[in-house]
Amino acid sequence: MPFTGSAHSGNRTPSTPGRITWVIAGASTLFLVASVLWWMSGSSPSAAQATSSPTTDTQASAVEVVETNAPSTADATTTAPTADAASAAAENAAAASTVSAPATQPVTALESPDAGATASGALTPATRGTNVNPDPVIVSAPATGETIGDKGPDSPAPQPARDPLAAAPMAAPTVDLPTALGMVGTDPIAARLQLTRLIDSGTLAPDAKRQAIDAITTVNASLFFSSTVNPADALMTTYTIKSGDALSKIARKAGMAADWRMIMRLNGIKDPNRIRAGQVLKVPTCTFHAVVNKSEYRLYLYAGEGADRVLVATYPVGLGEHNSTPTGAFMLKPGSKLVNPEWRNPRTGEFFKSDDPKNPIGERWIGLQGVDAGNSKAMSYGIHGTTDPASIGKQASMGCVRLKDADVEVIYEALTEPNSTIVIVP
């Protein structure tokens, strides 16, 4: 409804009293609105403080970001996997990260400065190869005793570093060879120790030494390379498989200084998927070492060290042409144990893929590095298999120690880094 005195139609001009009335009404309205606004602003101090304090807003925003990114305790409790599942997941992640890592370029030159200057040198694997090989995780105890579970990486138990040249001196035998041979049937553990000391003494004639080695081979067929556990054997212990276990996990739990495949060998396990919770396994507790005797073309595998070390097995080897295999003390080169490695011949450039039946270095590579003054630069040599069994017992390699494929698998499982020492003698 129009104010009094306002124009209703046409060009009629409003009267003066009407203008005064309109002005007064408008001023009253403005005063009322201003009063309401003043009252509202005066009754909200928190809003005024927030407006005048940008620092407070910034801090509040920062807190919100932190709280958004950090899961609550309830969420962590709800989503945390069980111990077995978490361990399996961690092993899966480690295996996946290793398998998916891009392969390095094939090696085309020798790593060792001294070897590279000669016509013959060490064999060098082309890549890191498959140094993570999965084994199963037992996730339950099935009635059938068979489970195929998640997989974990190939990881020997962590061991303290050691000085490879600080082993205790070997002890002299306390019995003669006939007496030691007579102990095989009655006290095989004592017989093995005395036969080892006789062999190491260097006093046996070749035929007598061969007789002692044959006797130790017989003893170890049951004492070492079988699932039978002699309670008096300090080199062995037992482990009962639990739900969630894997062979690699068992090796770590038992403090085993050997590859987990050694458990398969000693217990006659053909398929790592066919193990069950509750199964009792034989597990070695010792550290393994090797001696390569160049004049005999033979590798000696020992368990333990010093006065208590015992001979486990001996294997024939092939050596470097032109006497190029270096001598002295060696340890395993870090990260150099490979399964089915690729390889490029440093002389010809010919490249061999993994699982190539023509790959001259076979299916195992164990890299060596010299640790004494005479061989500290020898970094490219290794122990490996061969596709040429006829070369065993000869000088036929580029300087490395080669074994038959079945024999090098045992050496691969036994020798570990940084524990094992390999001594090559003339």
What is the pLDDT at residue 82?
35
How many domains does one find in the chain? 1
What is the pLDDT at residue 337?
94
Domain assignment present for residue 80? The answer is: no
Q: Residue 195 and residue 197: Cα distance in Å, rounded?
A: 5
Cα first-last separation, the chain: 123
What is the pLDDT at residue 149?
28
Q: Residue 366 and residue 301: Cα distance in Å, rounded?
A: 14
Residues 408/410/416/420 CA torsion (nearest 10 deg): -90
Answer for the pair 375, 350: CB distance below 8 angstroms, yes or no: no
What is the pLDDT at residue 307?
87
What is the pLDDT at residue 283?
96
Domain assignment present for residue 66? The answer is: no
Q: Residue 125 and residue 346: Cα distance in Å, rounded?
A: 10
Residue reference for tokens 């709800």: 78
Q: Band of the pLDDT at 66, cuts 50, 70, 90?
A: very low
For residue 168, pLDDT over 90 is answered with no
What is the pLDDT at residue 119?
34
pTM score, whole prediction: 0.67
What is the pLDDT at residue 101?
35
What is the pLDDT at residue 379?
77
Q: Tens digit of pLDDT for each residue in 241-283?
A: 999 999 999 999 988 999 999 999 999 999 988 899 999 999 9
How does strand 364-370 pair with strand 328-339?
antiparallel
Domain assignment present for residue 56? The answer is: no
Q: Band of the pLDDT at 42, cuts 50, 70, 90?
A: very low
Domain assignment present for residue 20? The answer is: no
Residue 336 domain boundaries: 113-425
Average pLDDT (134-155) is 34
What is the pLDDT at residue 99?
32
Domain assignment present for residue 65? The answer is: no
Residue reference for tokens 């070369």: 391
* Residue 426 CB neighbour total at 10 angstroms: 8
Answer for the pair 147, 276: CB distance below 8 angstroms, yes or no: yes
What is the pLDDT at residue 232?
93
The CA-atom distances, in angstroms, between 30 and each of 19, 21, 38, 308 are 17, 15, 12, 106
Domain assignment present for residue 62? The answer is: no
Write out the two tokens for 113.
């400065």
Domain assignment present for residue 74? The answer is: no
What is the pLDDT at residue 55?
32
Q: Residue 113 and residue 110: Cα distance in Å, rounded?
A: 8
> Which CATH number do you get for residue 421?
2.40.440.10
Answer for the pair 227, 282: CB distance below 8 angstroms, yes or no: yes
Domain assignment present for residue 30? The answer is: no
What is the pLDDT at residue 156?
44
Answer for the pair 397, 292: CB distance below 8 angstroms, yes or no: no
